[in-house]
Amino acid sequence: MNSDVQQDVVANALCYLDNTSSSFQLSLQGERNRIALYLNCSIVSLRSALLHNPAIAAVLVVNFDIPARRREEIERLGIAIQRIEFVTFRMPDAFP
């Protein structure tokens, strides 16, 4: 993304915490499978947004390292990746 040009952005925040799960079904999956599942869902969401809105920027915000090969695949789809250390996310009260 060029910081000199204002552009609409769609972002997915994917926070992964060790030894946690959001459902009984996911708790049956191994840690690697849970990460892959949520990562794939985020990629599909962002890629769909790009296909329907080609002028936007798509950003995947994560709190974990994505292996280089997978990172390259995601970036080839037009999705930027931003790693930020966070454990929770809450929309600001002023968010419309």
Residue 66 lies in a domain: yes
Whole-angstrom distance, CA of residue 90 vs CA of residue 15? 12
Question: Is residue 2 assigned to a domain?
Answer: no
How far is residue 41's CA from residue 14's CA, in Å, rounded to a whole number?
Answer: 10
| Any domain includes 26 | yes
Residue 89 counted as domain residue? no
- Give the global pTM: 0.74
Give the pLDDT score at 6: 79
Q: Choose from 32-36, 51-55, 82-86, 88-92 the range with maximum mean pLDDT.
A: 51-55
46 domain-assigned: yes
Q: Is residue 91 part of a domain?
A: no
Q: State which residues form the domain around 70.
A: 9-83
What pLDDT, in 10s, does the model give residues 16-67? 766 555 554 555 556 667 788 889 999 999 999 999 999 999 999 998 899 9
Among 11, 9, 35, smallest CA distance to 22 is for: 35
Residue 79: per-residue pLDDT = 98
The reply to whether 96 falls in a domain is: no
In a domain, 88, yes or no: no
pLDDT at 13: 87
Angstrom distance (rounded) from CA 87 to CA 37: 19
Total domains in the fold of the chain: 1
